[in-house]
């Protein structure tokens, strides 16, 4: 799915600098789970980094053929799309955006591209939604 365009949004593989964005996105997605008071910024960083890295490691282990892409709009990262093309389906592992883009057309457009790709290849699409998630 890398380097697919959606309106003016593009997908690109996660780079070293992209990992910084992913950490920020993870923290924004889990803000309600963050403790109200941590003594230092370093501890806050560690609190965010550890589960974020564990989540990514787990996803890569469970689905090694998945593509882990950043979604960029005007060259700025706005989200992530993790998906795997399997023998009979395209499995959406994760689709997340910065809060400002939750209800934007780029969100719908990105998912429409996944559906179109599956249709061209005569495959189904499987996703799992988190109902307590702010984007659902």
Predicted TM-score (pTM) above 0.85: no
Tally the domains of the chain: 1
Residue 25 counted as domain residue: yes
Residue 56 counted as domain residue: yes
CB 21 within 8 A of CB 13: no
pLDDT number for residue 120: 96
What domain range is 103 assigned to? 5-126
Residue 131 counted as domain residue: no
CATH number at residue 43: 3.40.630.30
23 vs 133: which has the higher pLDDT: 23
Burial level of 37, CB count in 10 A (0-12/13-18/19+)? exposed
Q: pLDDT for 29-84, tens place per residue?
A: 766 655 555 555 555 565 556 666 767 777 778 778 888 899 998 889 999 888 99
Listed residue (38, 79, 80, 76) closest to 59, CA to CA: 80
Residues of the chain with pLDDT > 70: what percent? 68
């Amino acid at each position: 799915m890398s380097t697919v365009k959606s309106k003016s949004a593009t997908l690109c593989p996660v780079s070293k600098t992209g990992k910084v964005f992913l950490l920020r996105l993870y923290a924004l997605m889990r803000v309600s789970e963050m403790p109200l008071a941590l003594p230092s910024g370093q501890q806050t960083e560690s609190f965010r980094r550890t589960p974020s890295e564990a989540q990514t490691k787990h996803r890569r282990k469970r689905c090694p053929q998945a593509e882990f892409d950043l979604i960029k709009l005007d060259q700025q990262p706005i989200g992530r799309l993790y998906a795997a093309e399997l023998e009979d389906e395209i499995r959406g592992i994760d689709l997340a955006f910065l809060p400002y883009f939750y209800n934007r057309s780029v969100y719908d457009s990105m998912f429409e591209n996944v559906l179109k790709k599956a249709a061209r290849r005569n495959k189904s699409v499987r996703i799992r939604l988190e109902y307590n998630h702010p984007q659902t």
